[in-house]
Amino acid sequence: MMPSELSIHVVKEIGSISAEDWNALVSPNDPFTRHAFLLALETSKSVGPGTGWLPCHVLVREKEKLLGAVPLYLKSDSYGEYIFDWGWAGASQRAGIPYYPKLVSSVPFTPASGRRLMVHDDAVEGPVFDALVSGVQAVAERSKAHSIHFLFCTEDERAALARGYNFLPRLTVQFHWQGAGDQSFDDYLGRMRASARKQVRRERRQALESGLTILTRRGDELSEDEWAYVYRFYRNTTGRKGALDYLTEDFFQQIRSTYGEHVVLAMAKDGDRPVAASLSFEAGQHLYGRYWGAYEFHEGLHFELCYYQLIERSIAMGHSRFEAGAQGPHKIKRGLLPSATYSAHWLRHEGLLDAVERNLLYETHATQQEIEMFAEHSPYKKKSSS
């Protein structure tokens, strides 16, 4: 039972919450749940009416003090989530069971792991955590949502939601670089088998021999002209892949002015003209690759800007993790190894809940086997047993 001194609130605009209060709940290693990032999504109209993502953030207060928060969105589709439930939605609709609207706790368009039920003391048990879950459940009742999804949550959150609230745990996989105490990129290469080391060096050499100037800078160190290319590269990539343009041009402009110190750009230039770039976000000891775009094809350039420049930066900065985004077993050869990602799901319809639960038993087993198989192809030397 929730203690009487705690109160639950729902807000439709993160701008109505103090940035200082909100950020006090955020991990120092998470650039995406910070107030300025979520605010830029809302005020740039990347989320909100007409986008399929309606903010309905849940807060828990003790008097005026903010003790907990959940970034939460009411959704009418499954776009921009990266933990896919299209199969569940299709089966539900074929059975005549409504699937939408649904509630999703995640950072829109961002497949990066982090706390979703943000509590002042990071507890995953206790009255504030319970109050946050109760608040999300109340929003589901009021909005007539047919399901609740906590995406890219922590393993501890997933376990707590499964244990105490009848959420189904789900396991997925990405590919991450983990810090190993390297002091230089050569140290990093030195841990690799000879064939993998040779491939990385060849790809880096191809990029450098393109004649392009390659640089990596923080977002607040780039000119307005260079920033304009970032949005163009984003549009170029989404257009080429036939993907939706989730982010508006105003989002990129706002991030430049309000959040540039958390942005990392790896860029290739032909003279003064940018021809390719990757956009990443950085906080604390973590770096997260997000977007890539190019006007020209050059051998090795994608690997250089999306992986090697960022691994080199992570080593120099002493980062413990670099996440290069969703999907991509090809990342293994570049030193990014399989890493489990987690989510938790509640479905209102008992029959659908039972069917999804049975499906997840098979999926989880297959994902565990997949992780083990990918790990066997690690490019790193095997440690000798003493």
- Give the residue among 289, 335, 310, 338 at the shortest CA–CA distance from 110: 289
Confidence of residue 4 (pLDDT cuts 50, 70, 90): low
CA distance 186 to 202: 14
Q: What is the pLDDT of residue 2?
A: 54
The residues that bridge with 265 in the sheet, in sequence order, are 217, 279
Over residues 145-174, the mean pLDDT reads 97
Does the pLDDT value for residue 176 go beyond 80? yes
Q: pLDDT by residue (tens digit) across 180-202?
A: 899 999 999 999 999 999 999 99
Pairing of β 102-105 and β 147-153 = parallel
Q: Decide: residue 3, CB within 10 A, 0-12 exposed, 13-18 middle, 19+ buried.
A: exposed
Q: pLDDT by residue (tens digit) across 313-363?
A: 999 999 999 998 877 889 999 999 999 999 999 999 999 999 999 999 999
Structure tokens at 244: 């939706």
DSSP-H helix ranges across the chain: 19-23, 35-43, 86-94, 127-143, 155-165, 185-190, 194-208, 224-241, 249-259, 301-303, 309-317, 350-376
> By three-state DSSP, how is residue 18 classified?
coil
Residue 31 near residue 322 (C-beta atoms within 8 A): no
Q: What is the pLDDT of residue 328?
A: 83
Does the pLDDT value for residue 109 go beyond 60? yes
For residue 101, whether the previous peptide bond is cis, meaning omega lies within 30 degrees of 0, is yes
Q: pLDDT by residue (tens digit) across 66-84?
A: 999 999 999 999 999 999 9
Residue 62 near residue 108 (C-beta atoms within 8 A): no
Q: pLDDT by residue (tens digit) across 207-260?
A: 989 999 999 999 999 988 889 999 999 998 888 888 888 999 999 999 999 999
Domain 180-319 has CATH 3.40.190.10: no
CATH class of the region 6-174+339-376: alpha beta
DSSP secondary structure of 35-72: HHHHHHHHHTTSSBTTTTEEE-EEEEEETTEEEEEE--
Which residues in the chain are classed under CATH 3.40.630.30?
6-174+339-376, 180-319
Question: What percentage of the chain exceeds 90 in pLDDT?
Answer: 89
Confidence of residue 386 (pLDDT cuts 50, 70, 90): very low
